[in-house]
Structure 1
């Protein structure tokens, strides 16, 4: 389950100051979040829930598929930070990013971002989808384990997607990375 960490409502001031991505990274570098698993989305810390067996299996399966599909043309990020905007540094389950080294900052560009959802579907389809569209990533998938479907978002416009399809069977081919082809029967076992 994904939870958003905020203070009690009665004690909140009239104006909020979001945590910025670079401030969050500095706190991470200082070890402030040692022993916790949080990501920054919209200036707010979001606690990430532990993975179940199907969730982690899905990530491993998709990782192998993506690595084979893109070869050396792109890099694959697996649960690594993506610098989406000044207030957002999530750790998507998978990302296809331009090949290269990112020694001074996390990658900010992505061709395909994939979230695997066991219990976080509403957040992945809501706030994260809005943030990824705002970053102008060409394609975003939410692999919905309980409902055995993939929500495919394409054609970002501002902070929304002009096209969202729910794929429940057959073969799915990425429009942003055409070499990525997924047989949904194999994906869902």
Structure 2
């Protein structure tokens, strides 16, 4: 596919405001590096894991200070991008007039079935370039969590994989314990 033109994040936002995408409400779009991209549809397993992550996050997060966002955009104007991660933890504040910026992001989680290569490749590079300090990819096929940290020069210098009863602790709230087996196997914390 050839590209006709690159857009700025401001141009993309104006298109949204003017209802350009309203005619196709079932279409999932994401704005990455100046390009409007169609996102792959998500299936029941993806939806279930996002729901479990959302429930877990709501249970473990403090009432004040950290805000949970689910499949909502983050603005990265310097990279002309507005990715829509499955789950994100943000600094608690009102985002009704402006998307959260990378400085507001405490944790991003992407759930990957068919999107694994994209989430661990281009998306990881985007988040690292934006200096998102805690990025998790839930690999549905292998039932593990890949945790990437310590971004520098557009890549993550630290990557570790967790599975089974391993404990994953978010940098922003280390009191929260995430166990992959409980999220994939139907158990509860």
Q: Does the pair score TM above 0.5?
A: yes
Quick one: distance in 1 between partners of 2:75 and 2:183? Answer: 28
Separation of aligned partners in 1, 2:67 and 2:149: 20
CA shift digits 1:54-83 (9 cap, x unpaired)? 100001110011112112221011000111
Gaps of 5+ in 2: none
Q: Distance in 2 between matches of 1:40 and 1:28?
A: 11
2:177 is the counterpart of 1:167: no
In structure 2, the partner of 1:150 is 145
Give the conservation status (yes or no) of the 8 Å contact 2:163–2:179: no
Q: TM-score, normalised by structure 1?
A: 0.88
- Secondary structure at 1:177 match in 2: coil
**Residue 37 of structure 1: how far off its partner (Å):** 1.5
Deviations 1:161-188 (A, max 9, x none): 0101111222211223313311111111
C-alpha separation between the residues in 2 aligned to 1:60 and 1:180? Answer: 17
Structure 1 unaligned segments of length 5 or more: list them: 1-5
Higher relative contact order (CA 8 A, sep 6+): 1
Paired residues for 1:2-17 under 5 Å: 6-7=1-2, 17=5
Is 2:97 the partner of 1:104? yes
**2:126 aligned residue:** 131
SS in 2 for 1:179: coil
1:52 equivalent in alignment to 2:47: no
Q: How many residues align?
A: 177
2:56 to 46, 50, 65: 65
Distance 2:162 2:175 in 1: 18
Which residue in 2 is equivalent to 1:3?
none
For the aligned residue pairs, the C-alpha RMSD in angstroms reads 1.5
